Amino acid sequence: NPFARAKYALSAHNFRQLPPDAGAEVAFAGRSNAGKSSCLNALVQQNALARVSKTPGRTQQLVFFDVAPQKHLVDLPGYGYAKVPQDLQAHWQQFLDGYFSTRDALQGLVVIMDIRHPLKDYDRQMLGYAASRGLPAHAVLTKADKLSRGAAANTLQAVRMELQRLWADTVSVQTFSAESKQGVDELRKVVSFWLQI
């Protein structure tokens, strides 16, 4: 597991606070409660790694984890932040837009979705960000343990067809469960390929 030694590096609230735009990084996005923290923790096999992203004040920052020298995982704020004041939301929109459109180190985007509620507006927006600059994206349908195998397979197929329709071959998709660890190896392969580790 090339992610076993991942550790918290820093949090950035604006461009000035970002680490140098060098090396490679993969961003993780997901609506609040989709299961993003659990997915990150399962990926790196550490129970508390992503807890840091949930501490008060960090929910409005990009949280960087070091995997290897100049290889980062980036936890994007759990969007769906209905309670965030209007001006903060504008700041965020600007920061995220800018990050996605200018960040050279960014190699790919992982979008975590609850398999029971896939492809909400927010998810489509994030996948659109990636597609608009030709960045590959990978959709993770998590909490697959909440569905029967048949229902999970049906959702996977439906989501795959919709992604294909919207963004052709730039987006891949898999099922996942932080509970059963189903799909962890598949996700590790995608992310380690993007990071070249």
Q: Does residue number 58 form part of the binding site for ligand GDP (CB under 6 A)?
A: no
Q: Does residue number 38 form part of the binding site for ligand GDP (CB under 6 A)?
A: yes
The DSSP 8-state label assigned to residue 52 in this structure reads G
Q: Does residue number 37 form part of the binding site for ligand GDP (CB under 6 A)?
A: yes
**Of the listed pieces 4-12, 20-28, 57-65, 137-145, which binds ligand GDP according to CB under 6 A?**
137-145
Q: Does residue number 183 form part of the binding site for ligand GDP (CB under 6 A)?
A: no
* Least distance between ligand GDP and beta carbon 119 (Å): 16
Q: Does residue number 118 form part of the binding site for ligand GDP (CB under 6 A)?
A: no
Pick between residue 23 and residue 155 the one whose CB is nearest to ligand GDP.
155
Tell me the per-residue interface mask from 78 to 117 with ligand GDP, x by CB under 6 A, - otherwise. x---------------------------------------
Torsion of CA 26, 108, 147, 40, to 10 degrees: 0
Bridge partner residues of 112 (DSSP): 30, 140
User: Please, what sign has the CA dihedral across residues 163, 164, 168, 174?
Assistant: positive
Phi, psi of 170 (to 5 degrees): -85, -15
- Residues numbered 141-160 forming contacts with ligand GDP, rule: CB under 6 A: 142-143, 145-146
Q: Does residue number 187 form part of the binding site for ligand GDP (CB under 6 A)?
A: no
Q: Which residues bind ligand GDP (CB under 6 A)?
A: 30, 32-38, 78, 142-143, 145-146, 177-179
